[in-house]
Structure formats: C-alpha cells, structure tokens
Amino acid sequence: MKQAKVLSENELKRVLAVIAGRKHAARNRAALMLSFYAGMRVGEIAALTVKDALDADGRVKDQILLRGAITKTGEARTVFVGDKLRKELERYAGSLKQADRDAPFLMTQKHTAFSPNTLCQLFARLYALAGIDGASSHSGRRWFITRLAHSGVSAKVIMTLAGHRHLSTTQRYIEVNDEMMRAAAQACGTR
C-alpha cells in the first residue's frame, strides 16, 4: 500500500491558501493543523469535543487528552499543544458559538459531528484543490512524525506522541529524501 505524501512547506502553504479562500476556513484550518501540528489521526480529530480542546473559560488547553475510546489503539494518550497549534486553535475557538462543552469541536456545515470518513473526504478535496497528488488524511500525521525525527527528537518520544505501540510502525512514517541524505552525508564529513 502506498503511503500518504509528506507535504513540503510550499505545498502546505498552497493548501492553507486554498482553505483561506473557502467557506469554513477557520474550521478547516484547525482540522488540518491538528493533523500537521499534533499528528492526530482523522478519527481522533473528528471525535474531539469542545471540552477536550478548551477549558471551562474557553481557552485552548495545554494538553488534549485523547480518550481511549477515540484512539486507534484503544489507549488514551496526551497531545501536547505547541505554540503554532495553540494559535490556530485560538483562532478557530474565537469563531465558535456553541456553549455545549460536549458538542463536537469541529462541526459540518449541517451542524453535526464529522465522521472520520467525511473528514477524510474534506482533506482529500482540499488537497485536490491545491493540486497536490498523493496526499491523504494521513499526510499531516506523516509530516508531523517526519519533522520530529529530522529535528533530532528521540524515537521513543516520537513513538509515544504518535500513539504507536511499536517503533517499527513509527519508522514507517518517516519520510527520507535525497536532500536529507545529502545533508546527513555532509554532516558526517564535518565532524
């Protein structure tokens, strides 16, 4: 099975530009950024509630606890909200009108929760509009894991953040290209 494309910075900017010019821009951008900046699976994103992401005062939480019932492995895990993701979620939270803390964090235009499938379709449509082939709902997750790996983050930390049980699973997510291998070979010669 072919893996989802890991987007370049320019491709990610193209997708964000497409989102900015469409209806529901804040919601769609928040959904995409939960994938890219937190490495969340589409099913986890779709299942988030307001109280998962926002505290009682409506502020974005520092950590989002994913209940075992919504994770692929059935085990709860913590998603840490970095500065970039916080900014994105704050932008979106400012547009929320719902007071129900048990309501879905992301709602369709019909004011219902996304299913993992409908969120996959949304991502596919956005990538297609941006002219990006090979991208899927897993592209953000692969981008997140690859960025961590190439930033020197420990494999055990990446595995834990990704919610993987086995390091071999995490390793399959990491994209390697000629530019990275060239830089690694160059770094070897400078020590």
Q: What is the pLDDT of residues 170-191, one digit of tens each?
A: 666 667 766 667 777 777 766 5
Q: Model-level pTM?
A: 0.86
pLDDT digits (tens, 9 = 90+) for 56-108: 999 999 999 999 889 888 888 999 999 999 999 999 998 887 678 899 999 99
Q: 113 has which bridge partners? A: 107
Residue with tokens 């900014």: 87
Domain count within the chain = 1
pLDDT confidence of residue 151? 79
Three-class SS state of 62: coil
Structure tokens at 53: 């992401």
Phi, psi of 66 (to 5 degrees): -90, 115
Q: What is the CATH number of the domain that holds 68?
A: 1.10.443.10
Question: 122 pLDDT exceeds 70?
Answer: yes
**Structural domain containing residue 75:** 1-191
